[in-house]
Amino acid sequence: MDDSLISSAYSQALEVIASVEPRIAAATRQELTDQRGSLKLIASENYASPAVLLTMGTWFSDKYAEGTVGHRFYAGCQNVDTVESLAAEHARELFGAPYAYVQPHSGIDANLVAFWSILANRVETPYLAKMQAKNVNELTEADWETLRHEFGNQRLLGMSLDAGGHLTHGFRPNISGKMFHQQQYGTDPGTGLLDYDAVAAKAREFKPLVLVAGYSAYPRRVNFAKMREIADEVGAVLMVDMAHFAGLVAGKVFTGEEDPVPFAHITTTTTHKSLRGPRGGMVLAQEEFAADVDRGCPMVLGGPLSHVMAAKAVAFAEARQPSFQTYAQKVADNAKSLAEGFLTRGANLVTGGTDNHIVLLDVSSYGLTGRQAESALLDAGVVTNRNSVPADPNGAWYTSGVRLGTPALTTRGFGHDEFDKVAELIVDVLEHTEAGTTKAGGPSKASYVLGDGVADRVTSQSAEMLDKHPLYPGLVLS
Ligand SMILES: *Cc1c(COP(=O)(O)O)cnc(C)c1O
């Protein structure tokens, strides 16, 4: 791709935007400068290609397209049909999935579609047959009451938030923890690893309708064949949320029993994390769930974002290139380099390391909460996010951990030496940060004091690496 094309495309677009609201054009320019100038270690973020980003800025945004390909509630959807069909086809090929639904606007929306389709598919009631036969008018008020009661009395077993699961996997305050009777499985208190026997025991006792596997902060691989065995034994539907690691699946780093798609009844994902596409979600499913998933919009979701579906198609086409497999392997290799960098400098890692794209650093040995560590690191230009560790004494707000991921900086071209250096810089900040005090003089979980000169020292060393591996090389805004 010709760099000057991309440079002029963005420069001109920003001029058009500035002619209406210059402050938005300025903020957009500043965001590029900021992203270029910081060490982005947020495990759920990445940098999509200019082709993916440009695809989102078109008139597909103006089109309503509720329904599915060929069955729309709006007229004139022939080009949206082309886009959605292509995105779904690329997704099926990329993941070897029988069926792909590319409409969800985000990962959480994809999970809501999955929950809805599992309920619709598996909750046996005579009323449901009538609903699906479109004879809803035959349902009496009493029928609806029974239906609500049955839908609302199902069970879900998911990974707990502090073990690395996601809010939508049955966390009480989330809608998933309110619409389902929920129980959670954790990790082994000794090793921090998933204990499949403990999950199986819980499943046998609880007998969930839905067993959710997948994570946002677990630094290890999962054996999905084992999870499916557990689901089958108790008659549960296995739903895998691969939002975080879809790029490692697409890039063939997770294969065999570590690839969830052949084992899960339903697989959900985001498209913007390790998969490096536009901000969005997707549901992959076995054939038996396809018709129910297809009702996602308008039963659960608002009208599809056709411009984003187009960008998903472009991103999936990129992910089908051999270069994406090289990228995904580097993401995993770099996480190992980062983890080793910490371990050789005496830091504590949850599970003692990583074999995916995540490193979960326990910062309590530095006398800090996750919140203090996150803020001090940000002062030094290192962008991370605080995260609970298993059985976290500081709860989900202050936390005791910092979650780090390699997808974004790997996209910039960082390799082993750079990630080792990143660990050195982070340890430098944490060793020179002290917990602060509250106004009343007691210990604070939020305030902190960063040692003199540390921010400058770290910032200048990261600048060297960032300059060597520019973000969107060749993109120059006029
Ligand atoms: C990020 C994430 C989500 C939510 O994705 P959004 O696009 O922010 O809605 C859901 N599940 C898991 C496991 C995630 O990591």
**Mutation test residue for ligand 1: of 168, 218, 360, the one with most atoms within 8 Å of CB:** 168
> Rounded to 5 degrees, what angle do the CA atoms 409, 414, 415 make?
130
Is the pLDDT confidence value at 136 over 80?
no
**Cα of 48 from ligand 1 centre, angstroms:** 17
What is the per-residue pLDDT across 213-270, written as a single tens digit (0 to 9) for each?
999 999 999 999 999 999 999 999 999 999 999 999 999 999 999 999 999 999 999 9
Per-residue pLDDT averaged across 131-139, rounded? Answer: 67
Per-residue pLDDT averaged across 41-45, rounded? Answer: 97
Is 93 labelled as part of a ligand binding site?
Answer: no
268 and 341 both lie in a single domain: no
Write down the catalytic residue from 40, 72, 228, 273.
273
256 and 113 both lie in a single domain: yes
How many Å apart are CA 202 and CA 455, to the nearest integer? 47
Write down the catalytic residue from 55, 270, 406, 459.
270
Residue nearest to atom 5 of ligand 1 (CA): 107
Query: Predicted confidence band at 2 (pLDDT cuts at 50, 70, 90)?
Result: confident
Sheet holding 401-405, edge to edge: 348-349, 358-362, 401-405, 385-387
90 and 229 both lie in a single domain: yes
Query: Predicted confidence band at 141 (pLDDT cuts at 50, 70, 90)?
Result: confident
Write down the catalytic residue from 29, 221, 226, 279.
279
85 and 175 both lie in a single domain: yes
**Cα of 108 from ligand 1 centre, angstroms:** 6
Task: Pinpoint the alpha helices (H) of 213-301.
Answer: 224-234, 246-250, 287-294, 296-299
Q: Which helix (H) or strand (E) holds 148?
A: helix 141-151
pLDDT in the model for residue 318: 98
196 and 152 both lie in a single domain: yes
Residue nearest to atom 12 of ligand 1 (CA): 243
How many Å apart are CA 169 and CA 244, to the nearest integer? 14
pLDDT in the model for residue 471: 96
How many Å apart are CA 282 and CA 103, to the nearest integer? 7
Is 287 labelled as part of a ligand binding site?
Answer: yes
- What is the CATH classification number for the domain harbouring 106? 3.40.640.10
How many Å apart are CA 254 and CA 328, to the nearest integer? 10
Query: Predicted confidence band at 1 (pLDDT cuts at 50, 70, 90)?
Result: low
Q: How many beta carbons lie within 10 A of that of residue 181, not counting itself?
A: 16
Write down the catalytic residue from 28, 29, 36, 64.
64
Q: Are strands 385-387 and 401-405 parallel, antiparallel or unpaired?
A: antiparallel
Phi-psi region of 471 (alpha: psi -120 to 50; beta: other; left: phi over 0): beta
238 and 138 both lie in a single domain: yes
Q: Is 273 a catalytic residue?
A: yes
Pocket, ligand 1, Cβ cutoff 6 A = 44, 106-108, 166, 168, 214, 216, 241, 243-244, 270, 281
* Residues in contact with 208: Cβ distance below 8 Å, sequence separation at least 6, in sequence order: 155, 156, 157, 183, 234, 236
Write down the catalytic residue from 29, 36, 45, 66.
66
158 and 288 both lie in a single domain: yes
Is the pLDDT confidence value at 420 over 70?
yes
pLDDT in the model for residue 123: 84
What is the per-residue pLDDT across 163-219, written as a single tens digit (0 to 9) for each?
999 999 999 999 999 999 999 999 999 999 999 999 999 999 999 999 999 999 999
Domain endpoint, select from 295, 319, 343: 319
The residues that bridge with 241 in the sheet, in sequence order, are: 214, 268
The residues that bridge with 230 in the sheet, in sequence order, are: none
pLDDT in the model for residue 125: 63
pLDDT cut 90: percent of the chain above it? 89
Residue nearest to atom 6 of ligand 1 (CA): 107
With respect to residue 20, please indicate whether it lies within any of the assigned structural domains.
no
pLDDT in the model for residue 133: 55
With respect to residue 353, please indicate whether it lies within any of the assigned structural domains.
yes
Q: Which helix (H) or strand (E) holds 270?
A: strand 266-270
With respect to residue 27, please indicate whether it lies within any of the assigned structural domains.
no
Look over the chain and give the mean of its residue pLDDT values, rounded to a whole number.
95
With respect to residue 181, please indicate whether it lies within any of the assigned structural domains.
yes
279 and 138 both lie in a single domain: yes
pLDDT cut 70: percent of the chain above it? 97
How many Å apart are CA 203 and CA 211, to the nearest integer? 8
Domain endpoint, select from 257, 287, 319: 319
**Cα of 32 from ligand 1 centre, angstroms:** 24
Domain endpoint, select from 319, 345, 365: 319
306 and 348 both lie in a single domain: no
Residue nearest to atom 10 of ligand 1 (CA): 107
Q: Is 267 a catalytic residue?
A: no
With respect to residue 336, please indicate whether it lies within any of the assigned structural domains.
yes
**Cα of 92 from ligand 1 centre, angstroms:** 21
What is the per-residue pLDDT across 52-104, written as a single tens digit (0 to 9) for each?
999 999 999 999 999 999 999 889 999 999 999 999 999 999 999 999 999 99
Q: Is 10 a catalytic residue?
A: no
309 and 355 both lie in a single domain: no
**Cα of 270 from ligand 1 centre, angstroms:** 6
**Index of the ligand 1 atom closest to the CA of residue 241:** 13
277 and 335 both lie in a single domain: no
Is the pLDDT confidence value at 134 over 60?
no
Number of domains in the chain: 2
With respect to residue 346, please indicate whether it lies within any of the assigned structural domains.
yes
Q: How many beta carbons lie within 10 A of that of residue 451, not counting itself?
A: 14
**Mutation test residue for ligand 1: of 161, 167, 270, 358, the one with most atoms within 8 Å of CB:** 270
How many Å apart are CA 359 and CA 219, to the nearest integer? 6
- What is the CATH classification number for the domain harbouring 410? 3.90.1150.10
How many Å apart are CA 374 and CA 385, to the nearest integer? 6
The pair of structure tokens assigned to 336 is 């190992």
Q: Indicate the angle between helix axes 416-431 and 370-379, nearest 10 degrees.
A: 110
Q: 357 lies in which domain range?
A: 330-468
239 and 191 both lie in a single domain: yes
pLDDT in the model for residue 150: 86
Is the pLDDT confidence value at 124 over 80?
no
Q: How many beta carbons lie within 10 A of that of residue 126, not counting itself?
A: 9
pTM (2 d.p.): 0.96
With respect to residue 16, please indicate whether it lies within any of the assigned structural domains.
no
With respect to residue 478, please indicate whether it lies within any of the assigned structural domains.
no
